[in-house]
Chain A
Amino acid sequence: AQSVTQLDSQVPVFEEAPVELRCNYSSSVSVYLFWYVQYPNQGLQLLLKYLSGSTLVKGINGFEAEFNKSQTSFHLRKPSVHISDTAEYFCAVRTIGGSYIPTFGRGTSLIVHP
Chain B
Amino acid sequence: DGGITQSPKYLFRKEGQNVTLSCEQNLNHDAMYWYRQDPGQGLRLIYYSQIVNDFQKGDIAEGYSVSREKKESFPLTVTSAQKNPTAFYLCASSKIGQGQETQYFGPGTRLLVL
Contacts and interface: CB of A to CB of B under 8 A. Distances in A.
A96 B6 CA distance: 30
B94 A100 contact: yes
B86 to A, nearest CB: 15
Interface in B1-51: 4, 6, 31, 33, 40-43, 45, 48, 50
A51 B101 CA distance: 9
- Tier of interface size on chain A: 20 to 34
A44 interface: yes
Interface in B45-92: 45, 48, 50, 58, 88, 90, 92
22 contacts: A34-B101, A34-B102, A36-B103, A36-B105, A43-B106, A45-B105, A46-B103, A46-B104, A49-B101, A51-B101, A96-B98, A100-B94, A100-B96, A100-B101, A101-B33, A101-B48, A101-B58, A104-B42, A105-B42, A106-B40, A106-B42, A107-B42
Interface of A: 9, 32, 34, 36, 41-46, 49, 51, 90, 94, 96, 100-102, 104-107
